[in-house]
Structure 1
Amino acid sequence: MTDLEFMDHAEALLKAVELTCDALNDTTEADIDAQRSGGMITLSFPGRSQIVINLQKPLHEVWLATRSGGYHYRWVDGAWRDTKSPTLFFDQLTQDASAQAGQPLHFAPA
């Protein structure tokens, strides 16, 4: 994968997260504060817990840090896949965001 291809896929992921947070804030009581700074998004939840999504450009990875742990994802076969398990990025984000928000939430690629 080229750097440009990575950035295209990674930017699509970050945009999907931002748009989903906006939609969840409009349709649920989740109250997620999504702050983006370059290649990083910090999701802040009531109770002051956070989820951090960070692009690792030299490695062509997206890193996800949540209460449950830290995860590294690479673009493989059309999806962001964990480097150590079969878990997909948006599945892990959905699970952890739901736990940290205290209600069911759903994140998916755009």
Structure 2
Amino acid sequence: MSQTRYDAAVEHTLMAIEDAVDNCAWDIDFERNGAVLTLTLEDNGSQVIISRQSASCELWVAAKSGGYHLAFAPAGWTCASTGENLPALLDRVLSDQQGEPVSLALSL
């Protein structure tokens, strides 16, 4: 994947996550600082951090349950260790940290 295509895919993805958080039923705040998007669950203050990893052309997700490396494939961002796509992974880690089912209804 070219750097230009990777950068465009990451930017599209981060904007889609921001939109999904804005429209979800949960009280989740987000803050974007350059290539890092931090999601904060307001009920308990726990965070999920999504970051661009340009050198490896990956997107990394850091959560209480661990760190996840996602590569961009024709089917979208896929986690190397779990096989989950990004929307499923985010819903799972946010649900784990919230203690209740969370769905961002993220569409990529």
Normalised by the length of structure 2, the TM-score is: 0.89
Over aligned residues, Cα RMSD in angstroms? 1.3
1:79–1:88: 8 Å Cα contact kept in structure 2?
Answer: yes
Q: Which runs of 5+ in 2 are unaligned?
A: none
How many corresponding residue pairs?
A: 106
1:19 — aligned with what? Answer: 19
1:5 — aligned with what? Answer: 5
Q: In the TM superposition, what are the counterparts of 1:1-110 in structure 2 within 5 Å? A: 1-24=1-24, 28=25, 30-45=26-41, 46-107=43-104, 108-110=106-108
Aligned counterparts of 1:86 and 1:96: Cα–Cα separation in 2:
14
Of residues 15-24 and 98-107 in structure 1, the stretch that sits farther from structure 2 once superposed is: 98-107
Of residues 52-61 and 75-84 in structure 1, the stretch that sits farther from structure 2 once superposed is: 75-84
Aligned counterparts of 1:95 and 1:83: Cα–Cα separation in 2:
16
Q: Which runs of 5+ in 1 are unaligned?
A: none
Q: Percent identity?
A: 29
1:73–1:81: 8 Å Cα contact kept in structure 2?
Answer: yes
Aligned counterparts of 1:87 and 1:71: Cα–Cα separation in 2:
10
Report the AA paired with residue 77 of structure 2: W
Normalised by the length of structure 1, the TM-score is: 0.88
